[in-house]
Amino acid sequence: MVLWVLLVWLVVGVITGFLTRKISKRVSAFGMIGDGILGGAGGVIGGYLVALTASGSTLGGLILTIAAAIACAILAVWTTKFITRP
């Protein structure tokens, strides 16, 4: 795996984590930084899982892994909001 692909997943995940916080308009127990970290982790996990099953490193494969990274980042932040809600 190329390092820049991992960095793309991480950056996309962090941005998605911040945006998910703004869109949901809920106060997270982890704060803004925690949501960014959760989004980054979700982005890396989602991108990696799709990269394992996707074929090649074509542009279509990269777009698919970025879409999966976004979906997993949103899922990670959204799920923790419900788990940690008082």
Q: Measure CA 79 to chain center.
A: 12
Q: Which of 54, 74, 65 is nearest to 9 (CA)?
A: 65
What pLDDT score does 6 carry? Answer: 81
Instruction: Check whether 78 has a pLDDT greater than 80.
Output: no
What pLDDT score does 55 carry? Answer: 58
Nearest-angstrom CA–CA distance, 43 and 83: 19
Predicted TM-score of the model (pTM): 0.73
What pLDDT score does 15 carry? Answer: 83
Tens-place pLDDT, residues 10-63 = 888 888 878 777 776 666 667 778 878 887 888 888 777 877 776 555 556 667
Residue 61: φ, ψ to 5°: -65, -40
| pLDDT top residue among 77 and 29 | 77
Nearest-angstrom CA–CA distance, 4 and 2: 6
What pLDDT score does 12 carry? Answer: 82
Residue 57: φ, ψ to 5°: -115, 40
